[in-house]
């Protein structure tokens, strides 16, 4: 077995306190958003849903990444695995922030209006699925599954830190295998519920995969930025090396292609079929200023990342991957905005200050919770038997 050669401290520096600043920012943002609720109730709920979905997508992709690493017995990712483990362990806590969405269902979802359903044969046909009690029940099921998986994987990873019991690897794999199966079932339905049902007349059988593709690409962008932030402040700067940056860069590059493939497949099939009930969804999103976001998606989530990251050396260049990661995350937010907001402003693009305050509020809380938990334990799985190979990995 390779010898572990770690010269960095495995404890989070006591002089770094990002959690307090982030949570403070989050509280200020949410208070400002709450003021906005009394000014424009509908705008508040649509802005909140967009921002909440953004951070929820990162949490879900984190959970998937952790389970995938355990199932495949991945070695390269051990040094950075504690980051997504911590993020996904907070999913059950993050479920609390779904409450405003549930309270605002009547503002967000047209299908919650009994008068609308009574005069609409399409909504009547979907009523067995699209109804408030069943919607709420499904949320409990989703978060029960995701929360259990995230907490169990995090708990047993920490237990391995404490006991050094390598037999826990088997338990982590046994949790992750069925977990990926449950993830594959629940995430598409959650995407249908949260986002696609904003326009209940439209449907796409590939939408769940589309949401997953968006999420996993954005996750690698966020992971790269977190790692670079930690390195810049002297955390694991000798442990996470150029090889790990390359691995994260190539994963971001790969899922950029996967995202483009899925997004194009969805568009092409609807364009080719030319069915009014499907094409009208794109029609509203390709006019009134929304088309500018569509072009930004084409270039910001595919063309630019693909071309810039295509050279071998670019994927390990910290400056390049940092700015591409920022670009992807910015466009990720606007793509969710592009999908959700026409439900409120159908005929034209309109950006409201609450889109900013809800994002800062929820973002501050999301990353504040992450850093608050991340600093309490070893910042990498110090007794994982694959750690030595991960640390000693080089290009």
Kindly report, residue by residue over 300-352, the tens digit of the pLDDT.
Answer: 999 999 999 999 999 999 999 999 999 999 999 999 999 999 999 888 899 99
- Whether 6 maps to a domain, the answer reads no
**In this predicted structure, what is the pLDDT of residue 2?**
52
The residue behind tokens 């943002």 is: 29
**In this predicted structure, what is the pLDDT of residue 172?**
95
- Whether 12 maps to a domain, the answer reads no
**In this predicted structure, what is the pLDDT of residue 371?**
96
CA distance 214 to 58: 10
Indicate the average pLDDT of the chain.
94
% of residues, the chain, pLDDT over 70: 99
**DSSP 8-state assignment for residue 2:** P
DSSP 213-231: HHHHHHHHHHHHHHHHHHH
- Whether 10 maps to a domain, the answer reads no
Q: Which domain holds residue 79?
A: 18-388
The answer to whether residue 85 scores a pLDDT higher than 90 is yes
The residue behind tokens 């029940």 is: 137
Could you tell me if 118 and 128 are in contact, meaning their C-beta atoms sit under 8 angstroms apart?
Answer: no
- Whether 394 maps to a domain, the answer reads no
pTM: 0.96
Instruction: State the total domains in the chain.
Output: 1
CA distance 152 to 163: 16
The answer to whether residue 3 scores a pLDDT higher than 70 is no
**In this predicted structure, what is the pLDDT of residue 1?**
47
The answer to whether residue 77 scores a pLDDT higher than 90 is yes
Whole-Å CA distances, 342 to 99, 197, 255, 359: 22, 12, 27, 18
**In this predicted structure, what is the pLDDT of residue 8?**
77
- Whether 3 maps to a domain, the answer reads no
% of residues, the chain, pLDDT over 90: 85
CA distance 359 to 201: 28
**In this predicted structure, what is the pLDDT of residue 275?**
85
The answer to whether residue 5 scores a pLDDT higher than 80 is no
Q: Which of 3-12, 73-82, 366-375 has the lowest mean pLDDT?
A: 3-12
CA distance 278 to 267: 10
Q: Which of 16-20, 258-262, 276-280, 309-313 has the lowest mean pLDDT?
A: 276-280
Please count the residues of the chain.
395
The answer to whether residue 134 scores a pLDDT higher than 80 is yes
Whole-Å CA distances, 19 to 52, 321, 373: 19, 25, 9
- Whether 29 maps to a domain, the answer reads yes
Could you tell me if 47 and 355 are in contact, meaning their C-beta atoms sit under 8 angstroms apart?
Answer: yes
How big is the chain by its Cα radius of gyration, in Å? Answer: 21
């Amino acid at each position: 077995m390779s010898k572990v050669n770690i010269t960095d401290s495995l404890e989070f520096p006591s002089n770094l306190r990002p959690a307090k600043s982030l949570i403070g920012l989050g509280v200020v943002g949410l208070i400002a958003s709450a003021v906005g609720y009394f000014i424009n109730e509908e705008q508040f709920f649509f802005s909140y849903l967009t921002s909440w979905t953004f951070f929820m997508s990162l949490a879900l992709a984190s959970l998937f990444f952790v389970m995938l690493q355990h199932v495949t017995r991945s070695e390269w990712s051990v040094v950075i695995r504690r980051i997504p483990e911590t993020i996904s362990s907070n999913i059950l806590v993050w479920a609390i922030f779904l409450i405003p969405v549930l309270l605002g269902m009547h503002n967000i979802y047209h299908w919650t209006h009994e008068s609308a359903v009574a005069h609409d044969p399409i909504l009547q046909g979907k009523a067995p699925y699209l109804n408030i009690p069943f919607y709420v029940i499904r949320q409990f099921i989703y978060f029960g599954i995701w929360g259990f998986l995230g907490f169990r994987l995090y708990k047993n990873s920490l237990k391995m830190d404490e006991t050094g019991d390598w037999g826990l690897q088997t338990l982590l794999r046994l949790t992750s295998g069925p977990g990926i199966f449950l993830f594959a079932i629940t995430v598409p339905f959650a995407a249908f519920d949260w986002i696609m049902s904003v326009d209940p007349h439209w449907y796409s059988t590939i939408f769940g995969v589309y949401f997953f593709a968006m999420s996993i690409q954005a996750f690698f962008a966020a992971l790269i930025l977190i790692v670079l932030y930690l390195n810049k402040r002297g955390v694991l700067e000798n442990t996470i090396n150029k090889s790990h940056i390359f691995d994260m860069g190539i994963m971001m590059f790969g899922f950029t292609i996967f995202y483009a493939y899925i997004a194009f497949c969805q568009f092409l099939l609807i364009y080719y079929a030319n069915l009014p009930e499907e094409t009208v969804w794109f029609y509203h999103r390709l006019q009134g200023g929304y088309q500018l976001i569509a072009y930004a998606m084409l270039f910001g989530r595919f063309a630019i990342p693909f071309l810039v990251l295509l050279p071998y050396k670019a994927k390990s260049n910290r400056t390049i991957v940092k700015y591409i990661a920022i670009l992807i995350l910015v466009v990720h937010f606007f793509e969710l905005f592009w999908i959700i907001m026409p439900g409120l402003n159908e005929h034209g693009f309109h950006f409201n200050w609450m889109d900013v305050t809800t994002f800062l509020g929820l973002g501050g809380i999301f990353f504040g919770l992450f850093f608050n938990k991340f600093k309490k334990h070893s910042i990498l799985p110090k007794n994982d038997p694959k750690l030595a190979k991960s640390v000693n990995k080089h290009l």
